[in-house]
Structure 1
Amino acid sequence: MTVSFLCRCAAVCLCVALNFPLVTSCLADRPLLRIDSALDPSVLKPHAVELSVEHQPDGSVLRMSAGHDYRWPGITITLEGDNRNLSKYGFVAVDVHNVGPKSVGFAVRVDSLDADLESDSLTENQTLAAGETRTVRAALRRKMPDHLKGRLMGMRSNPEGFSEDQGLDTDAIDKILLFVTKKDHEQTVEISSVRAEGDSKVATIWLDSNADPFPMIDLFGQYAHADWPGKTHSLAELKQNLILEEQDIDANPSPEHWDLYGGYVAGPELKATGHFRVQKYEGKWWLVDPEGRLFWSNGIDCVDTNSAQTPITDREFYFSDLPQRDSPMGGLYGRGNWAPHGYYKDRGRYETFNFTAANLVRKYGEDWRTLSRDLAHRRLRSWGLNTIANWSDENVYRMERTPYVVTCNSAGRRIEGSSGYWGKFPDPFDSEFAESVRRSMEYYRNAANSPWCIGVFVDNELAWGDELSLAKAALQSPSDQPAKQAFVDALKLKYARIENLNETWGTPFASWAALLEEPLNEQTMPDDAKAGDDLRAFYSQIGEQYFRVCRQAVKSAAPNTLYLGCRFAWVNDLAVRASAKHCDVIGFNRYEYSVADYQLPEGVDRPAIIGEFHFGALDRGLFHTGLKPTKNQQARADAYRDYLRGALQNPIWVGAHWFQYGDQAATGRGDGENYQIGFVDVCDTPYPETIQAARQIGDSMYQLRLEPVKMSSPIPAP
């Protein structure tokens, strides 16, 4: 494999390193708990755990075995002396190894004391697979200085990680808590290091109340007060990067042994149907491409030109060089109103500017749309990716040069008693629900019927809750809620008389009409132990109705296209079992460091696909890592490679899609997300570390997938 572009980028990085301050760590790590033969576990405050110091060839570890009776079993480390002042550091890092045979939810909580001796805290939670070793890092987000309050809005994180409501007094860190979530099985972890690491890099311009840090965003949409490897400093650099990348793609056009679709031409030749389908082959689930070749969907979301579109209303002072509205780039201003969270929530319409598109105009000229769409396909193939995934530009995937997925959405009434991060749960018993999915599929009919279409997702990250939640939500809804009416009908069929229901539930309903008319609340809701079987049964009925209606809509418009589910983010076994009855492939969004050991509920044997995952770091000018932080770009690339290796070795997964193609805007999208999660930055420049890792996986993924099923190995710490 030729890596000319990567080598050139490394040379550019070296030049930058010689001339500019970089966002890299030069501060020595500070141990916060010395784990050695001299450590007396009694100085730690345990909570339902047993502690011991174990001496191993590589050094001593603190072994923590959790009990079963405490919700958050763990230990509290009280800091003293100089260790309380961590203002120069960016993270508290803990190296932890899961000794046991099952996964462990491990958390690091950092507490500080403010001037009134009240505690503030921040927590980082991560799941460790059986046998896994990882570094868990809790970011030391600072309290926002008074002179900046109300000026750094609309972003999940800002240039220095200041927080108005969840920040720490980093010069007064009081305690560190290490704990696991309660499980019904024994949990044992080994902790080998607890330390402060990474420079805080709080720039003087932000701390000095007399300094004016604004504007903080340059012409290209980059942070103005720092430099880093790969930052674009001029239009000439922007265009030179295109020349270098074209040379790199010419030298690395595609992984070997791929067919037209990205399937494995060197593998077995199976039944070809002209469409994508699923098949279990040698103990592992696979997609099979239209030509009958084994296919594993290695993809990327949001292949479009909008990733760095950002609200500017109330924040124009952030930006140094926004174009005149009557200039050739004036058409890149827009309007938006989507803001389910954050500063712009409930503020109505706001104005936006699209930095991604602006830089594409500068880079490619008037024909930027056509040239960037063409390059997207060539990039993906060169990088070892064979799928254009969710929320991508229809103008890109309908070129039919890379396999793609289609995403539909439901509409109609929501279950009024429900709640969730993205909103209330759809009511699948509402007639408008079925009609809305049918209309959405009708719009995508041609795209969904193409042989290039892998399958169709409907909806995303719905609030499935626990195994009782949706049934309770129906009971908490008004009498005209279709889901509530369906629940009462099911109860009538089972119990016949309201007195029989009352006897089982321990409730005083005067009639079926009274149960239907009265929205229940915490006081009138039946006891879980008494009504649990009925609540779970109706929860399953909601799930099966949801997936049945969605499948019918998908198959009515595109009978040969796979139905990929709803991309579970928060889920329980009942919901998964309901999906397995109707989905060809079960979709999940899995923001973890490893999915190697992920299993479906016992007895469920279906293929599954990952619709979203990502990692990010803070060493390239952005302010938030995204949902899974890593230390730097090389660690991000390593985490990406290890995640995909684990997915390829797990028999259930038939693909994994990275979120997303380009970095989000430094100043955030409508809901404030401003994550460093792109394969390319705001200037459309690829991240060389990530591209190299992607090519390594793309070159070897079919060989890895075809290896015999085996237990996964511990995943290296990111």
Structure 2
Amino acid sequence: MPVASSLGRILPRRTWVPLRTIAVWVIVVSGLVGFAGRSWGQGANLDGEPRVLLDAAKADASWFKTNQGTIEIADTDAGKAVVLGWTSADALPELKLTAKETWDLSRFWYVSVDVANPGESIVRVKIKANSRDPKWQTNEREYVLYPGERAMVRMPLIRRLPDELKDDLFGMRGFPDGYEPDDGDYPRRGLNVAKLKQVMFGPSGLAASGKLYLYRIVAEGTYRAPPWAEGDTSMLFPLIDRFGQYKHRDWPGKIHATEDFARRIDAEEQDLAANPGPKAWDKFGGWATGPQLEATGHFRVQKYDGKWWFVDPEGHLFWSHGIDCVGPNGAVTPIDDREHYFEFLPDEGPFAAFYTTGHGAPHGYYQNKNPYRAYAFSQANLFRKYGPQWRTRYADVVHRRLRSWGVNTIGNWSDRDIAALDRTPYVTTLSTKSRNIEGSSGYWGKFPDPFAVEFVETINRWIRLQAEKTGRDPWCIGYFVDNEMSWGDDTSLAVATLQSPADQPAKKVFIDDLKAKYGSIDKLNEAWGTEYASWKAMLESTDAPDKEKAAEDLGAFYTKIAETYFRTVAEALHKHAPGKLYLGCRFARVNDRAAKAAAKYCDVVSYNRYQVDVAELALPEGIDKPIIIGEFHFGALDRGMFCMGLRMTANQDDRAEAYRRYVRSALDNPAIVGTHWFQYMNQATTGRFDGENYQIGFVDVCDTPNPEIVQAAREIGAEMYRRRAGK
């Protein structure tokens, strides 16, 4: 398979970009006849006859219409293909297959596209499928095609949970056998696969111009709905075995008896002995055989030979290949109101020690249930596996694994006792706590008010306490502060400030700024088109102004909020932990004003980037600072889990390849100094506090490594320094 060695120059781009004009060409396809499935559950069988939705060999050019690019039928070395061509990244063609009525694809696992990239640039492609019953539900998958590569890109069909089962299955993002809800706060929607209406395909980025050869679109992989999906849940409950696994399926690596744990230990010891880790690394995981730079005894950042790097305490170039949530707590699940889900919940004895108490959740079934009981299946399994001294034995295994896997960083939210052994570099995390801007909103909560006295006091106290533990530790890379805050658009926080009550500290500062600029309320009213009777009336008002008329002032105060937030944190960190790096706030979505403020005060700007690549990720034009990826992941449904997470793949091999391509795109981006995978262990099969139950771990809930992604990480660890250096 051809592999691009470099993405070339990464062009700066704006963090917010306008929606692109997408040229759509349409084929209306009549309903086709399906076939009976021979198996059901996770692990699709690809032996059955696929159902062809589009065959280029039988297509006619007159079917296609486009107002951008070119559409034609052409002969290629592999046969006839529908050729999608484009000359602008702002007008990408999209193939849209629309059934005259609907397709019944309920007996298939995947919609798959046989496609080739004949060009010399990497191309990102996207598959989408829609059903409408009565509202639209959508699944989508993106994939990166290397130059000269042909691939069968498979998108799993996620099924809509029947309405009559919603009272029986709850507290989870995904349900057994590939079902998900079609509502709620989760971005993907379960499809009515018996009434599929549309399938779409086309390029979605990376190449400003190019072509794709499309050979076929098919439905494939046999699937048969489980009996419980018809409404008879007597066959389903209990659905979780004593080890926290789905009990009605089998898969490679599943634990069937307690005795299996000892066999797993023996097998892994042999694997770790055979794979001790990259030979070119120093003790920190830096490039021991690479350039020797200044050694300061702490991690720092430096631009070297046109690319940003960390530099480790010994003065070696360091690229942070990390994993988040390293520790024993990955599979803790609420049990209140769901006791019947579980085959075994101990009343007494050693396994009763693994009950815990949860306190609220930002979303989902347990949002307003405080407190609730939960059970730590992951810890119970570690006790079974390693015995009464499981914490000590487990910590040792974790560090040996990371080195063997080519992973040199313990990422965010990891176990402090494991990190404190000083065998693998680590990051630490803090959160700002203060009064919020009351008019703000966001997925994880409101935005903190950086002008509140308690904001300054709290962040100084917390960083000082953290610095007492880690401030002098050379193994600590630096501090993340906060996570996925709601930055909104480039005036949103200023508008939210004006929608807050009169005693909001930020609001008082904003109005003082406006007084200094305008002098009188009449001049402000003239500029904004408002009718405030006085400055006091403005302070007491919670109405939002006209954003266009007040845009200049709203933007200026938004910048002041962002800069005050980052400056306050940076000053506290440099005061109390002067040797540690400020790693930013882990942007999920962000605008240019916030990104510029972060770059002004952070040593490294962090993004949680759940995409298939980060080739185009850049700070606003003109800013040259290092970037780190705080979170990304891919998941699949062939190892007993119920949900793939935020980025889907077809199976474990596909998941491992997605990992390689993502991290390689980061290695080829001159600004990016590391990627941290979220997370070390699969989440609980029945969901964590907010319902996330993703197959996103390097290990499962029984502490068994997934060999496919481990192998991918080992390959990255072995190649990453030479690739980063362009050698």
TM-score greater than 0.5 by the shorter chain: yes
Specify the SS of the correspondent of 1:588: strand
Whether the 8 Å contact between 2:64 and 2:71 is mirrored in structure 1 is no
Query: Mapping of 1:307-318 within 5 angstroms?
Result: 307-318=330-341
Q: Which whole-Å CA distance do the structure 1 matches of 2:233 and 2:466 have between them?
A: 55
For residue 594 of structure 2, the aligned residue among 575, 585, 603 is: 575
Q: Which whole-Å CA distance do the structure 2 matches of 1:99 and 1:505 have between them?
A: 54
Is 1:450 the equivalent of 2:473?
yes
For residue 349 of structure 2, the aligned residue among 327, 330, 341 is: 327
Look up the match of 1:122.
138
Look up the match of 2:175.
158
Look up the match of 1:437.
459
Is 1:634 the equivalent of 2:657?
no
State the Cα distance separating 1:98 from its structure 2 match. 8.9
Is 1:84 the equivalent of 2:99?
no
> Residues 187 and 98 (structure 1 numbering): CA distance in 2 closer, same or farther, change over 3 Å?
farther
Q: Which whole-Å CA distance do the structure 1 matches of 2:525 and 2:154 have between them?
A: 51
Deviations, residues 92-140 of structure 1 (Å, cap 9, x unaligned): 34567899999999765533354xxx34322426597998988776543
Whether the 8 Å contact between 1:387 and 1:403 is mirrored in structure 2 is yes
Query: Mapping of 1:340-359 within 5 angstroms?
Result: 340-359=362-381
Whether the 8 Å contact between 1:103 and 1:127 is mirrored in structure 2 is no
Query: Mapping of 1:389-404 within 5 angstroms?
Result: 389-404=411-426
State the Cα distance separating 1:304 from its structure 2 match. 1.0
What is the count of residue pairs matched by the alignment? 677
Specify the SS of the correspondent of 2:638: coil
Look up the match of 1:276.
299
Whether the 8 Å contact between 2:299 and 2:311 is mirrored in structure 1 is yes
Whether the 8 Å contact between 1:127 and 1:592 is mirrored in structure 2 is no
Deviations, residues 229-288 of structure 1 (Å, cap 9, x unaligned): 111111121210111101211222221021111111101111111111111111111111
State the Cα distance separating 1:375 from its structure 2 match. 0.9
For residue 173 of structure 1, the aligned residue among 191, 196, 203 is: 196
Q: Percent same amino acid among aligned pairs? A: 49
Q: Which whole-Å CA distance do the structure 1 matches of 2:459 and 2:399 have between them?
A: 29
Q: Which whole-Å CA distance do the structure 1 matches of 2:429 and 2:119 have between them?
A: 39
Whether the 8 Å contact between 1:124 and 1:136 is mirrored in structure 2 is no
The worse-fitting range, judged by mean Cα deviation, of 642-651 and 278-287 is 642-651
Q: Which whole-Å CA distance do the structure 2 matches of 1:36 and 1:328 have between them?
A: 65
The worse-fitting range, judged by mean Cα deviation, of 355-364 and 499-508 is 499-508
State the Cα distance separating 1:221 from its structure 2 match. 0.8
For residue 30 of structure 1, the aligned residue among 29, 51, 54 is: 51
Look up the match of 2:318.
295
Specify the SS of the correspondent of 2:432: coil
Q: Which whole-Å CA distance do the structure 1 matches of 2:343 and 2:195 have between them?
A: 36
Specify the SS of the correspondent of 2:194: coil
Is 1:464 the equivalent of 2:487?
yes
For residue 252 of structure 2, the aligned residue among 229, 237, 247 is: 229
The worse-fitting range, judged by mean Cα deviation, of 32-41 and 630-639 is 32-41
> Residues 146 and 597 (structure 1 numbering): CA distance in 2 closer, same or farther, change over 3 Å?
closer
Query: Mapping of 1:33-432 within 5 angstroms?
Result: 33-36=54-57, 38-40=59-61, 42=63, 52-55=71-74, 57=76, 58=78, 59-63=80-84, 74=94, 76-80=96-100, 84-94=103-113, 108-114=127-133, 118-124=134-140, 126=142, 139-160=156-177, 161-163=179-181, 165=183, 166-177=189-200, 190=212, 192=214, 193-207=216-230, 209=232, 211-324=234-347, 326-432=348-454
State the Cα distance separating 1:179 from its structure 2 match. 7.6
Look up the match of 2:712.
693
Q: Which whole-Å CA distance do the structure 1 matches of 2:294 and 2:547 have between them?
A: 53
Question: Given the two structures, how large is their TM-score scaled by the length of structure 1?
Answer: 0.88
The worse-fitting range, judged by mean Cα deviation, of 443-452 and 218-227 is 443-452
Q: Which whole-Å CA distance do the structure 2 matches of 1:442 and 1:363 have between them?
A: 38
State the Cα distance separating 1:450 from its structure 2 match. 0.9
Query: Mapping of 1:535-684 within 5 angstroms?
Result: 535-684=554-703
Whether the 8 Å contact between 1:111 and 1:119 is mirrored in structure 2 is no
Look up the match of 2:36.
none
State the Cα distance separating 1:556 from its structure 2 match. 1.6
Specify the SS of the correspondent of 1:79: strand
Q: Which whole-Å CA distance do the structure 2 matches of 1:678 and 1:362 have between them?
A: 20
State the Cα distance separating 1:580 from its structure 2 match. 0.7
Q: Which whole-Å CA distance do the structure 2 matches of 1:132 and 1:643 have between them?
A: 18
State the Cα distance separating 1:399 from its structure 2 match. 1.0
Q: Which whole-Å CA distance do the structure 2 matches of 1:406 and 1:210 have between them?
A: 44
Q: Which amino acid aligns with 2:137?
A: S
Q: Which whole-Å CA distance do the structure 2 matches of 1:563 and 1:620 have between them?
A: 38
Look up the match of 2:530.
507
Q: Which amino acid aligns with 1:29?
A: P
Q: Which amino acid aligns with 1:354?
A: A
Whether the 8 Å contact between 1:66 and 1:74 is mirrored in structure 2 is no
> Residues 402 and 469 (structure 1 numbering): CA distance in 2 closer, same or farther, change over 3 Å?
same
Whether the 8 Å contact between 1:617 and 1:676 is mirrored in structure 2 is yes
State the Cα distance separating 1:475 from its structure 2 match. 1.7
> Residues 222 and 581 (structure 1 numbering): CA distance in 2 closer, same or farther, change over 3 Å?
same
Look up the match of 2:15.
none
State the Cα distance separating 1:339 from its structure 2 match. 1.2
Whether the 8 Å contact between 2:599 and 2:623 is mirrored in structure 1 is yes
Whether the 8 Å contact between 1:418 and 1:470 is mirrored in structure 2 is yes
Whether the 8 Å contact between 1:268 and 1:294 is mirrored in structure 2 is yes
Specify the SS of the correspondent of 2:658: helix
Question: Given the two structures, how large is their TM-score scaled by the length of structure 2?
Answer: 0.86
Q: Which whole-Å CA distance do the structure 2 matches of 1:28 and 1:392 have between them?
A: 46
> Residues 414 and 247 (structure 1 numbering): CA distance in 2 closer, same or farther, change over 3 Å?
same
Q: Which whole-Å CA distance do the structure 2 matches of 1:345 and 1:226 have between them?
A: 30
For residue 509 of structure 2, the aligned residue among 486, 494, 497 is: 486
The worse-fitting range, judged by mean Cα deviation, of 593-602 and 193-202 is 193-202
Where does the alignment leave 5 or more consecutive residues of structure 2 unmatched? 1-38, 184-188
> Residues 210 and 367 (structure 1 numbering): CA distance in 2 closer, same or farther, change over 3 Å?
closer
Deviations, residues 332-384 of structure 1 (Å, cap 9, x unaligned): 00110231111111122111111111110110000001100111111111111
Deviations, residues 291-342 of structure 1 (Å, cap 9, x unaligned): 1111111111111111001011111111112222x21111100110231111
Specify the SS of the correspondent of 1:610: strand
Where does the alignment leave 5 or more consecutive residues of structure 1 unmatched? 1-18, 709-718
Whether the 8 Å contact between 2:139 and 2:190 is mirrored in structure 1 is no
State the Cα distance separating 1:34 from its structure 2 match. 3.0
Q: Which amino acid aligns with 1:416?
A: E
The worse-fitting range, judged by mean Cα deviation, of 383-392 and 510-519 is 510-519
Q: Which whole-Å CA distance do the structure 2 matches of 1:182 and 1:403 have between them?
A: 35
State the Cα distance separating 1:473 from its structure 2 match. 1.3
State the Cα distance separating 1:526 from its structure 2 match. 1.2
Q: Which amino acid aligns with 1:84?
A: W
Deviations, residues 40-60 of structure 1 (Å, cap 9, x unaligned): 45467x7x7566225252442
State the Cα distance separating 1:492 from its structure 2 match. 2.1
State the Cα distance separating 1:145 from its structure 2 match. 3.2
Specify the SS of the correspondent of 2:130: strand
Deviations, residues 584-625 of structure 1 (Å, cap 9, x unaligned): 111111111111232221111001111111111111110111
Whether the 8 Å contact between 2:584 and 2:604 is mirrored in structure 1 is yes
Q: Which whole-Å CA distance do the structure 2 matches of 1:364 and 1:90 have between them?
A: 38
